[in-house]
Chains A and B, each alone.
Chain A
């Protein structure tokens, strides 16, 4: 069960894994995520499904080696098994034909954005994708994105590749050049906050996909709550995508810090 059949480093700290999960491969839709657990003492962590292969019965996940659990996951090799894997969870993206889509992906957020870009393209939309990373080495999935986008703009913080600047600079130029019907933004919470402010200025409907802290992922615990349009929502069952113009990103940023101390202590212990 849940055997890893492929493993590839996309950058120094970002790993792509293909895992056997035939039922999930068949039933998942763009925007869905899974929860997995490594070892009997592991925690449950949510990860977006980046792609799936129905014939081989596998799903792909992309993970950044940042915390205790992602580190454990990244040490697994081809042939190893993931202890627990459940999904697909969350509401799928509302993929439809609207015209032109602007897709904004920052950092490892490019991974969850990929299946959505692919689905919007397959639905007959023109897709313009803006990707951002701190530097060239950290940019992932560029080729795959180019394959499914009509146009790709790359921004890097240090100018080591593409254009130097923030994602919003690249996106704003796209918006000024052509009529954009809908946007989707996935990346660090700060990036999504500024992306939402930008598209609000131009009144373009925008979805953002949130990476809240979760435990069960099925609506049971409420750890993933987020304020959207003044109301509390659960990212796991009401999301993970919400109207970006209504998300309280400041609260979300604060809530992502809830376990920073505990995580640091755990990492210190691991070393």
Chain B
């Protein structure tokens, strides 16, 4: 995203910001310690699948943390944000106690602030670019915690602001999918005056935010509030609608839709194709998390079942693996294990997730890779064979490549969750022969514009990236909205 520097400068020059900068000397700001996120006790929290681990900051703690921010003339943090949130402006609003203003600042560019404040890897984005890190070698301002604080404060205050929406231009556009990429796109387009409809195949809106990320990290009720906000802005939602099947893109064009954003996600789980992988009790993280998060399978009053295990192995080292293994622990596993073929250092999961998992008693069996599963007479998995690995030279990803050793270990397991990544969902590409896809099945886009080989079709998120984060998907959605707006303005003389 391009950052509008004139706008930032003008905002920074406002009197209240100037005053606030003078109020505390930078030298004194530097002496304040970074706030710690209050957390639920690990032994207590593993009893609940639906209680959040992070409890959120108090008003005092948030204002104090916000006062660490120097309100830099050149705010590099914004460059680290895929949706270009005006970070100093919202942080300074917290410092002066205008929390609702902080929340509306977030909503200028982010459709889902309460979500991002919880699941973004800030340590790799805005916070990694904070002055404290770049110039002072100190802990960054806790931008993520503050974002969550402002969004939560606004929600709990009962006076949610609805961002300004331009006059309706009567032009209909649609998203295919309703995850973070599509919602971010929808938010931006509706602000520009478009008539936006979100089409979702499942019975709930939200995509991975609902079916994937567990309640203890992102409660569905928080997602619902953000959805409600979009609804109030005028976004329409259609569930149980598979574009390409229920109706084709051509059918929708006949109904007046002028352009589309494909954000259908990377919804095809990968397996390892090793012997015994189809035994009962071995499932994808998508299946495990969908049953628990979307279908409420852990609650007996719901019809969807979920297999429970005493000895649960989760294969993989990403955030989804952490979500799965921590879910298994909460559903009563005595041993909940991560089996990962590299070492802790190479793990792609967020540092916070790994830390939380360790506090909860998750076992990390690193440098091991599954090679075979065994089952009892009913076909239910009861044992797995894992191979020891060591680290060799760095590979294309820059991480040290795991090299297999001729050493094996057997583990007793009765539930295995495979979280080794996802492939793009082939449903949309298979319905559109003219759509160019890569050999991995991701949709090819012109990167500056997120435009596909079909001019009125834009795409973003995991269907383009093949497996990334909520915030990168949201950044794609924003970028696509900006370029689709340009495309439609030119084509229809708006």
> Min CB distance, A66 to chain B, in Å?
14
Chain B 402-438 interface mask (CB, 8 Å, partner A; 1/0): 0000000000000000000000011100000000000
Chain B 238-252 interface mask (CB, 8 Å, partner A; 1/0): 011110011110000
> Min CB distance, B44 to chain A, in Å?
27
Asked whether A232 lies within 8 Å of B303 as measured between CB atoms, the reply is no
Residues of A within 8 A of B287 (CB): 215, 221-223
Q: Bound complex: CA of A262 vs CA of B305, how far in Å?
A: 6
| B278: interface (CB < 8 Å) | yes
> Min CB distance, B273 to chain A, in Å?
7
Asked whether B239 lies within 8 Å of A221 as measured between CB atoms, the reply is no
Chain B 424-457 interface mask (CB, 8 Å, partner A; 1/0): 0111000000000000000000000000000000
| A198: interface (CB < 8 Å) | no
One of B239, B281, B291 near A84 (C-beta < 8 A): B239
Residue among B201, B268, B301, B304 facing the most chain A CB atoms (10 A cut-off): B304
DSSP class of B's interface residues: helix, strand, loop or mixed?
loop
| B302: interface (CB < 8 Å) | yes
Q: Bound complex: CA of A130 vs CA of B211, how far in Å?
A: 43
| A44: interface (CB < 8 Å) | yes
* B303 nearest CB neighbor, chain A only: A43
Residue among B246, B300, B303 facing the most chain A CB atoms (10 A cut-off): B303
CB within 8 Å: A-B pair count: 119
| A216: interface (CB < 8 Å) | yes
Residue among A41, A83, A259 facing the most chain B CB atoms (10 A cut-off): A41
| B233: interface (CB < 8 Å) | no
> Min CB distance, A171 to chain B, in Å?
29
Asked whether A84 lies within 8 Å of B307 as measured between CB atoms, the reply is no
Q: Bound complex: CA of A24 vs CA of B248, how far in Å?
A: 11
Asked whether A221 lies within 8 Å of B278 as measured between CB atoms, the reply is no
| B290: interface (CB < 8 Å) | yes
- Per the 8 Å Cβ criterion, residues 37-75 of A in contact with B are 37, 41-44, 68-69, 72
Residues of B within 8 A of A27 (CB): 245-248
Asked whether B305 lies within 8 Å of A263 as measured between CB atoms, the reply is yes
Asked whether A222 lies within 8 Å of B271 as measured between CB atoms, the reply is yes
| B20: interface (CB < 8 Å) | no
- Per the 8 Å Cβ criterion, residues 75-96 of A in contact with B are 83-89
- Per the 8 Å Cβ criterion, residues 190-221 of A in contact with B are 215-216, 218-221
Asked whether B283 lies within 8 Å of A223 as measured between CB atoms, the reply is yes
Q: Bound complex: CA of A220 vs CA of B245, how far in Å?
A: 16
Asked whether B278 lies within 8 Å of A251 as measured between CB atoms, the reply is yes
Given contacts A219-B267, A237-B426, A254-B379, contact A84 B240 (CB under 8 A): yes
Q: Bound complex: CA of A226 vs CA of B427, how far in Å?
A: 19
Asked whether A220 lies within 8 Å of B304 as measured between CB atoms, the reply is no
Asked whether A89 lies within 8 Å of B278 as measured between CB atoms, the reply is no
Residues of B within 8 A of A232 (CB): 271, 273, 277-278
| A255: interface (CB < 8 Å) | yes
Residues of B within 8 A of A251 (CB): 278
| A23: interface (CB < 8 Å) | yes
Residues of A within 8 A of B221 (CB): none
| A266: interface (CB < 8 Å) | yes
Q: Bound complex: CA of A269 vs CA of B426, how far in Å?
A: 39
Given contacts A84-B203, A87-B245, A87-B246, contact A218 B240 (CB under 8 A): no
> Min CB distance, B212 to chain A, in Å?
10
Asked whether B284 lies within 8 Å of A42 as measured between CB atoms, the reply is no
Residues of B within 8 A of A37 (CB): 203
Asked whether A255 lies within 8 Å of B278 as measured between CB atoms, the reply is yes
Chain B 58-96 interface mask (CB, 8 Å, partner A; 1/0): 000000000000000000000000000000000000000
| A227: interface (CB < 8 Å) | yes
| A169: interface (CB < 8 Å) | no
Residues of B within 8 A of A255 (CB): 278, 280, 379
Asked whether A259 lies within 8 Å of B242 as measured between CB atoms, the reply is no
| B343: interface (CB < 8 Å) | no
Given contacts A86-B203, A232-B271, contact A44 B286 (CB under 8 A): no
| A225: interface (CB < 8 Å) | yes
Residues of B within 8 A of A234 (CB): 268
| B192: interface (CB < 8 Å) | no
> Min CB distance, A30 to chain B, in Å?
15
Asked whether A86 lies within 8 Å of B241 as measured between CB atoms, the reply is yes
Asked whether B291 lies within 8 Å of A215 as measured between CB atoms, the reply is yes
Residues of A within 8 A of B305 (CB): 43, 259, 262-263, 266
Asked whether B280 lies within 8 Å of A220 as measured between CB atoms, the reply is no
Asked whether A221 lies within 8 Å of B269 as measured between CB atoms, the reply is yes
Chain A 243-271 interface mask (CB, 8 Å, partner B; 1/0): 00000000100110111001100100100
Residues of B within 8 A of A216 (CB): 201-202, 211, 267, 290
Q: Bound complex: CA of A252 vs CA of B286, how far in Å?
A: 20
* A42 nearest CB neighbor, chain B only: B303
Asked whether B307 lies within 8 Å of A258 as measured between CB atoms, the reply is yes
Asked whether A41 lies within 8 Å of B425 as measured between CB atoms, the reply is no
Chain B 282-304 interface mask (CB, 8 Å, partner A; 1/0): 01101100110001100011111
Residues of B within 8 A of A23 (CB): 246-247
| B378: interface (CB < 8 Å) | yes
Asked whether B278 lies within 8 Å of A225 as measured between CB atoms, the reply is yes
Given contacts A215-B290, A237-B426, contact A87 B278 (CB under 8 A): no
Would you give 30 A-B contacts (Cβ < 8 Å), ordered by A?
A: A27-B247, A27-B248, A37-B203, A41-B303, A43-B302, A43-B304, A68-B303, A69-B303, A86-B202, A86-B240, A87-B245, A87-B246, A89-B242, A215-B287, A215-B304, A216-B201, A218-B201, A218-B242, A219-B268, A219-B426, A220-B268, A222-B271, A222-B283, A232-B273, A237-B427, A254-B279, A255-B379, A257-B378, A259-B305, A262-B307
Given contacts A43-B305, A232-B278, A255-B379, 18 further A-B pairs with CB under 8 A are A23-B246, A27-B245, A37-B203, A43-B295, A72-B303, A215-B287, A215-B304, A216-B202, A219-B267, A219-B426, A220-B269, A221-B284, A222-B271, A225-B271, A237-B426, A255-B278, A257-B378, A266-B305
The 8 closest A-B pairs by CB, nearest first: A262-B305, A254-B379, A221-B287, A86-B240, A220-B267, A43-B304, A43-B303, A84-B203
- Where the two chains meet, the residues of B that have a C-beta atom closer than 8 Å to any C-beta of A are 201-203, 211, 239-242, 245-248, 267-269, 271, 273, 277-281, 283-284, 286-287, 290-291, 295-296, 300-307, 378-379, 425-427
